[in-house]
Structure 1
Amino acid sequence: MSANNTKKLGKNGPQVTALGFGCMGLSAFYGKPKPDEERYDVLDHIYKSGELFWDSADMYADSEDLLGSEGNPGARENVFLATKFANFVTPEGKRVVRNEPDYIRQQCNKSMERLGTDYIDLYYMHRADKSQPIEITVKIMKELQDAGKVRYLGLSEVSADTIRRACKVAHIDAVQMEYSPFSMEVEQEGVLDACRELGVAIVAYSPLGRGFLTGSIKSPKDFEEGDFRAISPRFSEENFHKNLELVDTLKKVADKKGCTAGQLTLAWLMNSDPLVFPIPGTTRTKNFDENMGSLKVNISKEEDQEIRKAIENAEVAGSRYPEAASGALMVDTIPLDEYNGPHKSVMS
């Protein structure tokens, strides 16, 4: 991959590949994972392609273990590796968000052990605990950075105000948000503006609408058992066909350009701002190669306007997460001066 396909991760970050790879689907949430041999073949193909910005999390089943045993010599030195903490499943099976200082330190060590490394390139707070000020969370993350365990700091699914507060404690290098023609909250709720102001990269997860925007999913019946999209309101029987209108419009624009709807969508996101890094995931090398083709797609000003008009005219039906998980999106945490919790001493 040429240097032209890399760019700087925010104002303080390194040069990384402009299109990242989301590793979640290789291990979790999209049905039964494929056999290890097939998964290693996918990672091998991705590595040899020169795509070297990989995104994982401690909650993605065996994802960190899989990456830690990836067999290419020199891969750890060459791959810019991101992982995350905060999503926790209790013994009773309940999902909770954990940002306590000791928990962050503990999970960082566990992730390094699973990944087979003594440092993490980019460490994200996966979700914010509303009841703990973001200042406390970021101070602990900065401690990990100062200790050399973490090189760059990231947040995920937080509000513009939370980003600004966090950056007063330590520079946040990247904010990971769902961002696609189906999910425009990054622009609508001031997150993109805050990141431009502060020099923070936006890492766009689910940039293809969890596969919907490629046009390859024709019905909710296409989801296999264990695929979390089957319980997502946006993919319900009631909403599915309502959302095809935007997909059809993007496909028409893509057909005129001689590319796929997925390539058009990824190129459009990368064209929207130099700070934006999409991280599509897949379990198939064919799909990966198609996604990489988006790096060769140029979006004109007129095409950008056409796509934006289609987005504005579309009425996206259904929320992006089930109601139980929606409260952890675009989070504002309690202000530090209103907090009297157990970790306030951390800030002294």
Structure 2
Amino acid sequence: MTPRAPVGRVERALGCMRFETEAAAHEVVGAALEAGVTLLDTANVYGPDDGVFGVNERWLARALDAWSGPRPRVATKGGLTRPGGRWVPDGRAKAIRQACEGSLDALGVETIDLYLLHAPDPRVSWKTTCRALAKLKADGLVARLGLCNVSVAQLREARAHMDVDAVQIGLSPFEESGLRGGVPRYCLDEGIALLAHSPLGGPKRAAKIGRDRALGALAEARGVSPWAMTLAWLRDLGATPLPGCTRPETARDALAPLSLDDGAREALDARFPLGARLRCPPTPPRDGGQGEVVLLMGIPGAGKSTHARALVEAGYARLNRDATGGTLKALHGRLGALLSTLTNTGPRRVVLDNTYATRALRDQVLEIAWKHDLPVRCVLVDTALEDAQVNACVRMIERTGRLLEPDEMKRAGKDDPNLFDPRVQLRYRAAFEPPTEDEGFSALERRAFERAPWGGDGEAVIVSVESFASFEGEAVTLAPERAARLREEPRTLCATGWAPKASPEAVARRVARLEAGLGRDLDARFCRHAAGPPICWCRKPLPGLGVALILEHALDPARCLWVGTSAADRGIASRLGVPYVDAAAYFDPG
């Protein structure tokens, strides 16, 4: 296997985020300039005061004005805000333009050398953001464009709308996700400059490098620090590290010219094998009939277990954290051990079912399987979020008999990972990177989710409480004509509503008054949780109350009717397969 040579220019660079005062900025940048720095990295949001833009950029500009030597290039970033100290992306076209113009003013230049988007904004179309960046270059405001903190899929899509000259991601020897995520390899293959922020692991992890014996021995033999050796290793891979130095002496150390000889390169690659894989990408094994590993992935609640059982029946060994517990790292350790024990027992066929949202997580499975000369087939159970939410509620009720309260889910989830709150699925969707064959899979299959029949045959009308009743404290007032319509309803009568912060006893009294006013049985369910992030399954538009009614009354959704007053009601009915009618049409059909 021929090692891949680094592509593109590798800079001697300095990250400027951590300056706390202008005096410190001048001292550190001055030392870096004397040491031959060629790239300075900043951003409009860097500075000691949240919400004040351009501070770090102005410090940097004044430090450069005081320098009479060769001027390094400056990279700055936009597309991020700092409300209340939080990092919040803003990828709107107008915001991108304003941020760039502000950086031009702060840096005192007519054209920015390299302008990067700080982070994708999930609330804004990726195409919109990328086109806004492309317009900056077309209008001459920036010379080159780049992206930060992106996935391979986002990078590919971006290149359809803009030039991508550089990509900045977190990359360090002790942070696996950056090396496994595919972006470094993509950049090297495509000739895109690769910038590594937090190259020493960040302030809290940098000390680990100083304690590493292998690094220490190599560094001592060459008369440099272990941190300088680490940065040299990253440059040798083809990346430009951006060490965030806060003292002149550390800046000089980080920028010291240091090239790796063959011995140092071999030793460092042995210490950090993921770097060796980046330098010399492995060749996936071919399917020689000796078995395979099936990576079964999908959103929590996708229905992966159904597909896994089919493979087990076909003779596959199954590894799953639901059964074994522990961490994903421990599960992968068991995979390696299992493949070793199966070596002399015929074809080795194993299925792992887990969420595997990111390319970096999937790469761990590929690495282990390839060490045992086995291909990996990826099967994505392609379940929509709405269907997965229903599945999560069904599973919870089947296992516990009811929808759990938020604090109960926290406790139960420690023993059973299938008992989780809605935010788990939302986090998965936010992190999800669609699998692609170029990750190294022998095959990539997508299985559409199909819901099995619910199994019941009951009929019911499920009504939004707000459509026929109003509440003032403990008092319940029914709309007379609508109450009369519900009294005549021949089917089982159910209702759903919202009573934020009400006690269980208060809800029980409310239901009793509703039944008394209607003069008939009513199964009314209320969500008692406040507005805000979804911490329960019962607040609309989540389907928990509807799922509970279907299961407890053995209903056939197709034979029921959902009477609602909102888009949330319509959405719940749709995902449960219940015909929907607006309350006005139900109560006044004429």
Give 2:82's aligned residue: 89
- Local SS of the residue matching 1:194: helix
What are the within-5 Å matches in structure 2 for residues 56-95 of structure 1?
56-61=42-47, 62-70=55-63, 71-72=65-66, 78-90=71-83, 94-95=86-87
How far did residue 332 of structure 1 move?
6.0
For the pair 1:209 / 2:195, whether they are aligned, the reply is no
1:302 aligns with 2:295: no
CA distance in 1, matches of 2:275, 2:433: 27
- CA deviation profile, 1:133-190 (whole Å, cap 9, x unmatched): 3222111111110111011111111101111111121221111111011223233121
Q: Give 2:241's aligned amino acid.
A: P
Aligned residues: 272
Distance 1:172 1:330 in 2: 22
Cα 1:305–1:95, aligned 2, differ >3 Å: closer, same or farther?
closer
Q: Does the Cα contact within 8 Å between 1:159 and 1:191 map onto a contact in 2?
A: yes
Distance in 1 between the 2:45 and 2:149 partners? 16
Q: 1:64 corresponds to which letter in structure 2?
A: E
Paired position in structure 2 for 1:230: none
Distance in 1, Cα, partners of 2:432 & 2:143: 24
CA distance in 2, matches of 1:157, 1:108: 19
2:59 and 2:199 map into 1 onto residues whose CA distance is 23
Instruction: Please tell me whether Structure 1 or Structure 2 has the larger radius of gyration of its CA atoms.
Output: 2
Check the 8 A contact 1:262/1:291 in 2, yes or no.
yes
The equivalent of 2:532 in structure 1 is none
Q: 1:330 to 1:204 in 2, by over 3 A?
A: farther
Deviation of 1:99 (Å): 0.3
Q: Distance in 2 between matches of 1:160 and 1:285?
A: 36
Distance 2:428 2:75 in 1: 24
Question: For residues 85 and 139 of structure 1, what CA distance do their matches in structure 2 show?
Answer: 14
Kindly tell me: are residues 281 and 89 of structure 1, through their superposed partners in 2, closer, same or farther at Cα, counting changes over 3 Å?
Answer: closer
Give me the whole-angstrom Cα distance separating, in 2, the residues matched to 1:244 and 1:284: 18
Classify 1:251/1:198 alpha carbon distance in 2 versus 1 (closer, same or farther; 3 Å): same
Q: Residue 332 and residue 134 in structure 1: after superposition, are their counterparts in 2 closer, same or farther (change >3 A)?
A: farther
CA distance in 2, matches of 1:111, 1:327: 34
Instruction: Give the aligned residue type for 1:271.
Output: D
Aligned to 1:290, which of 232, 253, 260? 253
Whichever residue aligns with residue 225 of structure 2, its letter is T
1:120-269 mapped onto 2 (5 Å cutoff): 120-211=112-203, 215=207, 247-269=212-234
Which amino acid letter does the alignment assign opposite residue 269 of structure 2?
A: Q
Q: Does residue 50 of structure 2 align to residue 50 of structure 1?
A: no
Q: Once the two structures are superposed, what CA deviation does each residue of 1:266-290 show, in whole Å capped at 9, x if it has no partner?
A: 11111113xx111112121111111
Query: Per-residue CA shift, 1:300-327, capped at 9, x if unaligned?
Result: 3422332224999xx99xxxxxxxxx99
Per the alignment, residue 323 of structure 2 pairs with none
- Asked whether 1:39 is paired with 2:19, we answer no
Aligned residues: CA RMSD: 3.2
- Mapping of residues 320-339 of structure 1, within 5 Å: none
CA 1:38–1:94: 2 relative to 1, 3 Å: closer
Match of 2:95 among 77, 98, 103: 103
Aligned AA for 2:134? K
Q: Which is worse superposed, 116-125 or 17-26?
A: 17-26
Query: Partner amino acid for 2:45?
Result: M
1:12-27 alignment runs, 5 A limit: 18-26=11-19
Alpha carbons of structure 1 residues 187 and 142: separation in structure 2 relative to 1, 3 Å? same
User: How many Å apart are 1:255 and its aligned residue?
Assistant: 2.9
Higher relative contact order (CA 8 A, sep 6+): 1
1:223 is aligned to none
Structure 1 pair 214–298 and aligned structure 2 pair: CA distance change class (3 A): farther
Corresponding residue number in structure 2 for 1:229: none
| Partner Cα distance (1:169, 1:213) in 2 | 37
Gaps of 5+ in 2: 1-5, 48-54, 277-327, 330-426, 435-590
2:244 is matched with which residue: 281, 295, 314?
A: 281
What secondary structure does 2:212 align onto?
A: helix
Q: Is the 8 A contact 1:158 1:332 kept in 2?
A: no
C-alpha change, 1:331 and 1:68, in structure 2 (3 Å) is farther
The CA deviation string for residues 50-76 of structure 1, in whole angstroms up to 9 with x for no partner, is 21300000110121110122233567x
2:244 partner SS: coil
Q: Is the 8 A contact 1:128 1:328 kept in 2?
A: no
Aligned CA distance change for structure 1 residues 260 and 152 (closer, same or farther; 3 Å): same
Q: Which residue of 2 aligns with 1:271?
A: 236
2 CA distance for matches of 1:200 and 1:210?
24
The 8 Å contact of residues 160 and 194 in structure 1, kept in 2 or not, is answered as: yes
Q: TM-score, normalised by structure 2?
A: 0.42
| 1:187 alignment partner, SS class | helix
Instruction: Judge conservation of contact 1:214–1:261 (CA < 8 Å) in 2.
Output: no
Change (3 A) 1:327 1:49: farther
Letter in 2 for 1:284: R
Does the CA-based 8 Å contact 1:157-1:176 persist in structure 2?
yes
Distance 1:94 1:302 in 2: 42
Contact 2:210–2:216 (8 Å) recurs in 1: no
The CA deviation at 1:195 is 1.3
- SS at the partner of 1:165? helix
Going from structure 1 to structure 2, the CA distance change for 1:330 and 1:247 (only over 3 Å counts) comes to farther
Deviates more, 1:262-271 or 1:244-253: 244-253
> Residue 126 of structure 1 contacts residue 157 of structure 1 at CA under 8 Å; is this kept in 2?
yes
Equivalent residue of 2:31, what SS? helix
